[in-house]
Chain A
Amino acid sequence: MDTTATFWLPTPSSTIAGEIDLLFYVIFYLTTFFFLLIVSLATYFTIKYRKTAENENDPMPFVGHSRLLEATWIIIPTAIVMVLFFWGFRGYLRLSIVPAEAMQVKVTGQKWFWSFDYPEGASTVNEMVAPVGRPVRLLMSSKDVIHAFFVPAFRIKKDVLPNRYGVSWFEANQIGVYDLFCAEYCGSKHSQMIGKVRIVSEQDYKVWLESASDLGKGLTPVQYGEKLFQLKACATCHTIDGSSSNGPTFQGIFGHEVKLANGSSVTVDENYIRESILVPSAKVVAGFQPIMPTFQGILKDKEIDALVAYIQSLGGK
């Protein structure tokens, strides 16, 4: 198979995509043949044997039933589907068996973003970076409901469950940026749970991995916080322009008192922000649902410091 997008399928960009696309097109031409066979026969018979003024009252001729014909259209489809089964099974085994030399990335799905943790310490949200030409084993789990990890360009998909690990893998064979979708319905922002898989050269990957292990290098806390606000997907539910989303806006709240869902109120200070990141359900602002996931174990202290500084910079007392 060539490496460009076709009418039916997006650009194949993993080592396994070619095999799956070939089978897709084999089934496509096979089914097109049978479809045209049925439709053209039905059309031909309908025209040739239509009722006319002349034949209206003729007795119906006796047409026997051919056992041979009946057997033919049982045996041929059976043979075809058995071939499809084994062919599809072979590809499925390739999709399931991870090469031993694969590098591993831990994938975590939660409402409504993806996070990726690398053994070297780097950690990203909604953007996965991987080197071209090296198999990557994805060890996946969810923090809440079921999600599914779907990269169309790689032809892989796997449910991400809350009570067990799922495993998938790919080996990209083209440098580029590919869409990552959540394919299992997970609520309000299911259609916003979209990330990217950025495939880079081995050399670029090394450079990236080093810098990604220390994201805040050379940035002021506010700049770092602004970067984290995007990277860690705070922006999915919080705005910085005063408008309301799934969560309260960050504009001009620092130092102000806010009303809570339980009727009491609290001043937005460093400790309240820290608590809301680590134990979001502790003090929910009135008018919002307690839907925010905890970032315990996702954000390091230094990152929380930066986010506090950033929220402080967005105005308030």
Chain B
Amino acid sequence: MSYSPAVDDNGLPSPNYLSSEKGLWSWLSTLDHKRIGILYLIGITIAFFLGGVFALLLRLELFFPGQQLVGPDTYNKLFTLHGAVMVFLFIIPSIPAALGNFVLPLQLGAKDVAFPRLNLASWYIYVAGSLFALYALVTGGVDTGWTFYTPYSTSSNTAVISITTGAFILGFSSIFTGMNFIVTIHKLRAPGMTWDRLPLMVWALYGTALIQVLATPVLAITLALLIMERTLGVGIFDPAMGGDPVLFQHFFWFYSHPAVYIMILPGMGIISELIAAFSKREIVGYKFVAGSSLAIALLGFLVWGHHMFTSGQSELASAIFSFLTFFVAIPSAIKVFNWTATLYKGRISLEVPMLYALGFLFLFAIGGLTGLFLGTLSVDIHLHDTYFIVAHFHYVMMGGTVIALIGGIHYWWPKMFGRMYSQFWGVVGFILVFVGFNVTFFSQFIMGSQGMPRRYWDYLPQFQRIHGISTVGAMILGTGLFIIAIYLIASLRRGTIVGPNPWGASTLEWETTSPPHPHNFENQPVVTGGPYDFNKPRV
């Protein structure tokens, strides 16, 4: 091992970013992208826990028909908060702001992001926006659904204004992170780090950042208009005041469809890293995989109307949106086929992160392929607003993004904290999450195509058995996630200390110490080859 032999009180390499400064204030005032990444990780974990508790309450209520735990009004608030917290507080910042912040400068061979102060400001804005959302929660909740469709949201007497203000503020956090990453990728690459030597995680974060910067302002404007309508009575969306509710849907999805790609693209980036590292092979079709990230980012702006096939938009608009939607299938297929091909003649080790990568392949394939049912106009008319949609986007968002996030956390955990978690519990956690997820959500495809509408507090008796199965799945899934949280936290103290590169991975972040030096690298790294050259000498 060639890294510095100096160690701190905990036996970890010294100096490192965790122990170089001490005290709460050193964290709250830090400009270090690694520490800001950890701060985000804490924030999104709390949000995920909250959103997850809401989800479990929803599933328990749906265990049997009729009232189990909560009445319809509470149920409506729970699904609204589940959606809003998971989308705005958890999944959008999850991979880019938490893992991306930590990993991006390391993978580029940079000392930090381009604007460290802006980076810290983003986190504070995230906290401020989250507090507004929590304020909505404690002042009676919101019952509009996370989509805030008008005129329901204009007339609802719940805390619509505080939660939309929260989402408005969170948008700025997202825009600032995106801007920061774009400039960092353009300007702070290490000597020799040409565009075709960027790790695929960086390409994915780049595509994500472009969407964050270009799409998020539209959400901010839409929510501002909604707030104006409610407070000042300016008629924009509410027909009672001369507005048009379908206009809101266009505005909302113009952001929220690209936002889906803000959520999934960085997950795809993680999967590229994991498959390369645990197959010991360069990702097949590097340029196609990198290019497909940009293609998805671009196409994401052109397909929003596919959320509105039944809304009353013109038939011609629906036809054009359906046509364009199918093209999203192509770059997604390119990625999946190239990942699968990378396994060919690789040297595959089934470490915990790789289990998540293979799990992603399985779940994302289902999530992506079921999108074909929904892009097809005549079939979507039947499936729209049923549990089929709920299942589809949970397969993409949770089976895709969250599985990638958990895989990424397991992959970079030893880099972040210098310690390894329990492999045994890692496998147990994965199996419970994978099985629980499929039981929860595959059953929802069936009830959806059978006609079960979404956002229903109660349901007809023919759906009882399948709702029961889904709830059992959710309990298994919850148990798995709980176990993962326990062993990861336990590893912070008890985990065995690892060297710089426990996985034998090839990208730059593995060449520095674990946990890394406060300035990332002791010497400026110089890049001489591609990101996935597994035959070059290892440190």
Nearest neighbor of B533 in chain A, beta-carbon distance = A60
Are A95 and B156 in touch, CB under 8 angstroms?
Answer: no
Are A161 and B245 in touch, CB under 8 angstroms?
Answer: yes
| A194-B369 contact in complex given A27-B376, A60-B280, A88-B379, C-beta closer than 8 Å | no
Are B155 and A144 in touch, CB under 8 angstroms?
Answer: yes
Contact segment of B48-56, B325-333, B479-487: B325-333
Is B525 in the interface zone, CB < 8 Å from A? no
Among A49, A65, A161, A166, the residue within 8 A (CB) of B284 is A65
Contact segment of B100-108, B114-122, B184-192, B455-463: B455-463
Q: Cβ of B338: which chain A residues have Cβ within 8 Å of it?
A: 70
Is A20 in the interface zone, CB < 8 Å from B? yes
| A35-B366 contact in complex given A27-B372, A150-B451, A185-B455, C-beta closer than 8 Å | yes
CB distance from A210 to the nearest CB of B (A): 31
Are A85 and B315 in touch, CB under 8 angstroms?
Answer: no
Given the complex of chains A and B, what is the CA–CA distance between A165 and B346 in angstroms?
Answer: 59
Are B340 and A95 in touch, CB under 8 angstroms?
Answer: no
Are A49 and B378 in touch, CB under 8 angstroms?
Answer: no
CB distance from B288 to the nearest CB of A (A): 6
Given the complex of chains A and B, what is the CA–CA distance between A188 and B346 in angstroms?
Answer: 55
Are A146 and B384 in touch, CB under 8 angstroms?
Answer: no
Given the complex of chains A and B, what is the CA–CA distance between A88 and B285 in angstroms?
Answer: 32
CB distance from A95 to the nearest CB of B (A): 6
Is A298 in the interface zone, CB < 8 Å from B? no
CB distance from A131 to the nearest CB of B (A): 23
Is B362 in the interface zone, CB < 8 Å from A? yes
Q: Cβ of B318: which chain A residues have Cβ within 8 Å of it?
A: 92
Nearest neighbor of A41 in chain B, beta-carbon distance = B340
Are B149 and A24 in touch, CB under 8 angstroms?
Answer: no
- Give residues of chain B (322-345) contacting chain A, Cβ–Cβ below 8 Å: 322-323, 326-327, 329-330, 333-334, 336-338, 340-341, 343-345
- Give residues of chain A (72-113) contacting chain B, Cβ–Cβ below 8 Å: 73-74, 77-78, 81-82, 84-85, 87-96
Q: How many residues of B contact A (CB 8 A)?
A: 84
Is B267 in the interface zone, CB < 8 Å from A? no
Q: Cβ of B350: which chain A residues have Cβ within 8 Å of it?
A: 46, 50
Q: Cβ of A8: which chain B residues have Cβ within 8 Å of it?
A: 446, 449-450
Given the complex of chains A and B, what is the CA–CA distance between A144 and B239 in angstroms?
Answer: 9
Are A31 and B372 in touch, CB under 8 angstroms?
Answer: yes
Are A163 and B239 in touch, CB under 8 angstroms?
Answer: yes
- Give residues of chain A (172-195) contacting chain B, Cβ–Cβ below 8 Å: 179, 181-192, 194
Are B334 and A60 in touch, CB under 8 angstroms?
Answer: no
Among A49, A144, A148, A187, the residue within 8 A (CB) of B143 is A187
Among B323, B384, B450, the residue within 8 A (CB) of A183 is B384
Q: Cβ of A179: which chain B residues have Cβ within 8 Å of it?
A: 451, 460
Are B376 and A164 in touch, CB under 8 angstroms?
Answer: no
Are B284 and A158 in touch, CB under 8 angstroms?
Answer: no
Are B333 and A77 in touch, CB under 8 angstroms?
Answer: yes
- Give residues of chain B (432-476) contacting chain A, Cβ–Cβ below 8 Å: 446, 449-451, 453-460
Is A133 in the interface zone, CB < 8 Å from B? no
Are B326 and A163 in touch, CB under 8 angstroms?
Answer: no
Are B385 and A184 in touch, CB under 8 angstroms?
Answer: yes
Nearest neighbor of B373 in chain A, beta-carbon distance = A27
CB distance from A151 to the nearest CB of B (A): 9
| A88-B385 contact in complex given A46-B358, A49-B344, A162-B245, C-beta closer than 8 Å | no
Is B529 in the interface zone, CB < 8 Å from A? no
Nearest neighbor of A78 in chain B, beta-carbon distance = B330
| A49-B348 contact in complex given A10-B451, A60-B280, C-beta closer than 8 Å | yes
Are A77 and B366 in touch, CB under 8 angstroms?
Answer: no
Among A39, A70, A88, the residue within 8 A (CB) of B362 is A39
Are A84 and B344 in touch, CB under 8 angstroms?
Answer: no
Given the complex of chains A and B, what is the CA–CA distance between A14 and B145 in angstroms?
Answer: 32
Given the complex of chains A and B, what is the CA–CA distance between A282 and B533 in angstroms?
Answer: 77
Q: Cβ of B346: which chain A residues have Cβ within 8 Å of it?
A: 45, 49
Are A60 and B375 in touch, CB under 8 angstroms?
Answer: no
Is B535 in the interface zone, CB < 8 Å from A? yes
Are B310 and A39 in touch, CB under 8 angstroms?
Answer: no
Q: Cβ of B362: which chain A residues have Cβ within 8 Å of it?
A: 39, 42
Are B330 and A156 in touch, CB under 8 angstroms?
Answer: no
Is B45 in the interface zone, CB < 8 Å from A? no
Are B385 and A84 in touch, CB under 8 angstroms?
Answer: no
CB distance from A194 to the nearest CB of B (A): 7
Are A20 and B379 in touch, CB under 8 angstroms?
Answer: yes
Are B348 and A50 in touch, CB under 8 angstroms?
Answer: yes
Given the complex of chains A and B, what is the CA–CA distance between A192 and B460 in angstroms?
Answer: 10
- Give residues of chain A (108-157) contacting chain B, Cβ–Cβ below 8 Å: 144-146, 148, 150, 152-153, 155-157
CB distance from B419 to the nearest CB of A (A): 23
CB distance from B488 to the nearest CB of A (A): 25
Nearest neighbor of A92 in chain B, beta-carbon distance = B377
Are B344 and A45 in touch, CB under 8 angstroms?
Answer: yes
Are A162 and B285 in touch, CB under 8 angstroms?
Answer: no
Is A69 in the interface zone, CB < 8 Å from B? yes
Are B378 and A19 in touch, CB under 8 angstroms?
Answer: yes
| A145-B378 contact in complex given A8-B449, A51-B349, C-beta closer than 8 Å | no
Given the complex of chains A and B, what is the CA–CA distance between A77 and B382 in angstroms?
Answer: 24
Are B378 and A20 in touch, CB under 8 angstroms?
Answer: yes
Is A63 in the interface zone, CB < 8 Å from B? yes
CB distance from B30 to the nearest CB of A (A): 39
CB distance from B333 to the nearest CB of A (A): 5
CB distance from B509 to the nearest CB of A (A): 20
- Give residues of chain B (480-510) contacting chain A, Cβ–Cβ below 8 Å: none
CB distance from B58 to the nearest CB of A (A): 13
Interface flags for B306-325 (1: CB within 8 Å of A; 0: not) read 00011110010011001100
Q: Cβ of B145: which chain A residues have Cβ within 8 Å of it?
A: 185
Q: Cβ of B329: which chain A residues have Cβ within 8 Å of it?
A: 77, 81
Given the complex of chains A and B, what is the CA–CA distance between A119 and B326 in angstroms?
Answer: 42
- Give residues of chain B (346-380) contacting chain A, Cβ–Cβ below 8 Å: 346-350, 358, 361-362, 365-366, 369-370, 372-373, 375-380
Are B385 and A183 in touch, CB under 8 angstroms?
Answer: yes
CB distance from A176 to the nearest CB of B (A): 14
Given the complex of chains A and B, what is the CA–CA distance between A10 and B388 in angstroms?
Answer: 14
CB distance from A77 to the nearest CB of B (A): 5
Q: Cβ of B155: which chain A residues have Cβ within 8 Å of it?
A: 144-145
CB distance from A15 to the nearest CB of B (A): 13
Given the complex of chains A and B, what is the CA–CA distance between A42 and B363 in angstroms?
Answer: 13
- Give residues of chain A (13-51) contacting chain B, Cβ–Cβ below 8 Å: 19-20, 23-24, 27-28, 30-31, 34-35, 38-39, 41-42, 45-46, 49-51
Are A45 and B382 in touch, CB under 8 angstroms?
Answer: no
Is B281 in the interface zone, CB < 8 Å from A? yes
Are B310 and A35 in touch, CB under 8 angstroms?
Answer: no
Given the complex of chains A and B, what is the CA–CA distance between A229 and B109 in angstroms?
Answer: 74
Is B76 in the interface zone, CB < 8 Å from A? yes
Is B229 in the interface zone, CB < 8 Å from A? no
List 22 A-B pairs, Cβ < 8 Å.
A20-B382, A23-B376, A24-B379, A31-B372, A38-B340, A45-B348, A73-B334, A81-B327, A82-B326, A85-B326, A88-B380, A89-B322, A145-B152, A150-B385, A158-B312, A162-B245, A163-B244, A179-B460, A181-B451, A183-B386, A191-B455, A191-B459
**Closest A-B pairs by Cβ, 10 of them:** A91-B378, A152-B451, A163-B239, A88-B376, A92-B377, A45-B343, A191-B456, A31-B369, A81-B326, A183-B385
Interface residues of B, Cβ cutoff 8 Å to A: 72-73, 76, 143, 145, 149, 151-152, 155-157, 239-240, 244-246, 279-281, 284-285, 288, 309-312, 315, 318-319, 322-323, 326-327, 329-330, 333-334, 336-338, 340-341, 343-350, 358, 361-362, 365-366, 369-370, 372-373, 375-382, 384-386, 446, 449-451, 453-460, 534-535
Q: A161-B239, A184-B385, A192-B72 are in contact. List 4 more A-B contacts (CB 8 A).
A: A7-B446, A38-B340, A88-B377, A156-B382
